[in-house]
C-alpha cells in the first residue's frame, strides 16, 4: 500500500477499479469475475508494479479487505442456498457421497500424478494434489448465477460436489497440519467431522421442521431491521462454524436453504442482492491481491502442465457425476465444466505449505498455487460461460434438456408451497 494514502481513499480506489473492470467485461460480453481478479492483480503488490510511468501496486491486503472477502463468500453461498433445494439434496446423502468420492479419486489422483511426475516427495505431492483437487465455491457459485445454471438441474450435483469437497478439505487440512506442522492429533478428525455434521444437521432441521418459527423470528416491518437480522444470523452461524472447524461456506449454504423454506425468500432476494454483489466484488479483487504474474512465470511449467490435467479430470468427474444423477449428456458436461474453477482454498493450502517451509514447500509449491489460482480462476470462469458453445462444437448430439429461465435474476423462484409438497 502506498504510504500516506488514507484508508478511505484506497477503499474508494478499490470500488471504482472493480466498477470500471466490471463495466469493461460487460461491454465485451464476458463474466465480471476474471475482470475483478485481474484488476486486483494490477493494483496489488505483485508484478506488474507499474504500467509505464504509472505506479499500479498501490493496494495490499488489509483486515478490512479480508473481512469483506469472507462476508462475500458467506453471503454468496447463502444466496445460492435460497434457490437450491438443500433438503432434497441432503435427503440423498449416499448419492453425494458417491459423486464426491468419485470426484476425489479422479481429481485428487490426477493432482498426485502431477506431483510425482515433477519429482516431488510424497508430502509435497499431497500438497500439489490438494491444490489441484479443491474447487472454488465462490467462483463457481457466482458463475452459476451469471449463467443461469443455479436454477437448472445441473446445480444439484455441482452443489453436492462442493459440499463434499469442503468437508473433505477440513479432514485433509487437519491431517496435513498434524503431519507437517505437528499441530493436533489426527484422531480428532473424526470428532471434528461428527461435530460438523451435527451442527449442519441442526441448522437444516430447524428450517425443515420449524419454518413457521423462523418466519416469526425474522419477521420485521422495516426492511433495514429485516436485513440486519438475516445477515446477522447468517454471519453469526458462519462464525460459529469457524470455531467448530466446519466450513463457513457450507454452513451459509445450509442456512440459506433453511430460511428459503420460509415465506421470506422473495424479500430476502430483493434486499440481499446488492449486499451480495458489493461483498463478492471485493472478494474476487482480494484474490487478485494475493497473486501475481511473476508466480505464473516462475512456475510456468508446473502451471501449464496442471491446466489440462485439471480441466480433463474435472470434466470427467462431472460427466460421471451427472450421469449418476440421471442427467443428459449436455447437462453432465455442464457439471464437468462447472467444477473446474479453482480459487480460495488452494491459496489456503499454499499458505500451509509456506508455513511448513523447507525445500519445495517453502517456495515452489506456494508460487505454483498462486499462479495456478490466477490461471484456473480465469480459465474456469470462461469455460463455464462458454460451455454450451464448446459442447455444441465437440459433441453436437449430446442432447439438450427442457428449457429453463435464461438468467438467474430473471427467473421466478419456486413457490414455497410446491417445495413443501415434495
Residue 192: pLDDT band (50, 70, 90) is low
Tell me which range, 275-289, 315-329, 354-368, is most confidently predicted by mean pLDDT.
315-329
Residues 334, 160: Cα–Cα separation, whole Å: 14
Give φ, ψ of 51 to 5 degrees: -120, 100
Residue 247: pLDDT band (50, 70, 90) is confident
With CA atoms as reference, report the closest residue to 165 among 247, 241, 237. 247
SS3 of residue 55 by DSSP: strand
Q: 120 or 65: whose pLDDT is higher?
A: 120
Cell of 253: 449454504
The yes-or-no verdict on residue 199 having pLDDT over 90 is: no
* CATH code, residues 68-421: 1.20.1530.20
Q: What percent of the chain has pLDDT over 90?
A: 20
Residues 390, 157: Cα–Cα separation, whole Å: 20
Q: 400 or 159: whose pLDDT is higher?
A: 159
Residues 326, 116: Cα–Cα separation, whole Å: 35
- pTM for this prediction: 0.75
332-354 mean pLDDT = 87
CA dihedral of residues 119, 121, 123, 125 (deg, nearest 10): 10
213-225 mean pLDDT = 84
pLDDT in tens, 381-394: 999 989 989 988 88
pLDDT in tens, 147-179: 888 888 888 899 889 888 887 887 787 777 777
CA-only gyration radius of the chain, Å: 21
For residue 104, the model assigns a pLDDT of 94
Range with lowest mean pLDDT among 7-16, 17-26, 300-309: 7-16
Determine which helix (DSSP H) or strand (DSSP E) holds 54, and give its type and residue range: strand 54-55
261-275 mean pLDDT = 82
Q: Which residues of 62-87 are buried (b: 16+ CB within 10 A; e: fewer)?
A: eeebeebbbbbbbbbbbbbbbbbbbb
The yes-or-no verdict on residue 417 having pLDDT over 80 is: no
For residue 341, the model assigns a pLDDT of 92
Residue 88: pLDDT band (50, 70, 90) is low
Long-range CB contacts for residues 9-17, cutoff 8 Å, separation at least 24? 10/58, 10/59, 11/64, 13/43, 13/58, 13/59, 14/43, 14/59, 14/65, 14/282, 14/285, 15/281, 17/42, 17/43, 17/285
Residues 91, 352: Cα–Cα separation, whole Å: 35
Q: What is the pLDDT of the chain when averaged over all its residues?
A: 80
pLDDT in tens, 317-341: 999 999 998 899 999 999 999 999 9
For residue 413, the model assigns a pLDDT of 41
Amino acid at each position: 500500500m502506498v504510504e500516506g494514502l488514507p484508508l478511505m481513499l484506497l477503499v474508494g480506489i478499490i470500488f471504482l477499479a472493480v466498477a470500471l473492470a466490471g463495466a469493461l467485461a460487460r461491454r465485451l460480453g464476458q463474466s465480471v469475475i476474471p475482470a475483478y481478479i485481474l484488476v486486483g492483480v494490477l493494483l496489488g503488490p505483485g508484478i506488474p508494479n507499474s504500467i509505464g510511468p504509472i505506479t499500479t501496486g498501490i493496494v495490499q491486503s488489509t483486515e478490512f479487505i479480508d473481512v469483506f472477502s469472507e462476508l462475500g463468500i458467506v453471503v454468496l453461498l447463502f444466496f445460492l442456498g435460497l434457490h437450491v433445494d438443500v433438503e432434497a439434496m441432503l435427503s440423498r446423502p449416499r448419492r453425494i457421497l458417491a459423486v464426491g468420492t468419485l470426484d476425489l479419486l479422479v481429481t485428487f489422483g490426477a493432482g498426485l500424478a502431477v506431483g510425482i511426475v515433477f519429482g516431488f516427495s510424497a508430502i509435497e505431492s499431497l500438497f500439489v494434489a490438494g491444490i489441484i483437487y479443491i474447487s472454488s465455491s465462490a467462483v463457481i457459485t457466482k458463475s452459476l448465477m451469471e449463467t443461469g445454471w443455479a436454477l437448472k438441474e445441473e446445480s444439484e450435483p455441482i452443489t453436492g460436489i462442493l459440499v463434499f469437497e469442503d468437508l473433505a478439505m477440513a479432514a485433509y487440512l487437519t491431517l496435513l497440519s498434524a503431519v507437517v506442522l505437528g499441530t493436533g492429533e489426527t484422531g480428532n478428525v473424526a470428532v471434528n467431522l461428527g461435530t460438523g455434521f451435527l451442527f449442519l444437521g441442526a441448522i437444516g432441521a430447524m428450517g425443515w421442521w420449524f419454518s413457521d418459527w423462523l418466519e416469526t423470528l425474522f419477521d420485521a416491518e422495516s426492511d433495514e431491521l429485516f436485513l440486519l437480522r438475516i445477515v446477522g444470523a447468517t454471519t453469526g452461524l458462519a462464525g460459529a462454524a469457524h470455531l467448530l472447524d466446519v466450513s463457513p461456506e457450507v454452513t451459509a449454504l445450509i442456512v440459506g436453504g433453511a430460511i428459503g423454506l420460509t415465506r421470506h425468500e422473495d424479500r430476502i432476494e430483493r434486499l440481499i442482492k446488492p449486499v451480495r454483489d458489493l461483498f463478492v466484488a471485493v472478494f474476487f479483487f482480494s484474490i487478485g491481491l494475493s497473486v501475481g504474474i511473476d508466480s505464473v512465470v516462475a512456475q510456468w511449467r508446473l502451471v501449464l502442465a496442471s491446466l489440462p490435467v485439471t480441466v480433463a479430470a474435472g470434466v470427467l468427474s462431472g460427466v460421471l457425476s451427472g450421469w449418476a444423477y440421471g442427467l443428459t449428456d449436455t447437462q453432465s458436461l455442464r457439471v464437468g465444466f462447472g467444477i473446474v474453477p479453482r480459487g480460495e482454498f488452494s491459496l489456503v493450502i499454499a499458505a500451509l505449505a509456506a508455513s511448513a517451509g523447507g525445500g519445495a514447500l517453502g517456495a515452489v509449491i506456494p508460487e505454483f498455487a498462486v499462479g495456478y489460482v490466477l490461471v484456473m480462476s480465469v480459465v474456469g470462469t470462461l469455460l463455464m460461460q462458454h460451455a454450451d458453445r464448446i459442447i455444441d462444437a465437440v459433441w453436437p448430439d449430446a442432447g439438450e434438456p427442457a428449457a429453463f429461465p435464461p438468467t438467474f435474476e430473471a427467473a421466478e423462484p419456486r413457490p414455497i408451497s410446491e417445495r413443501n409438497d415434495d
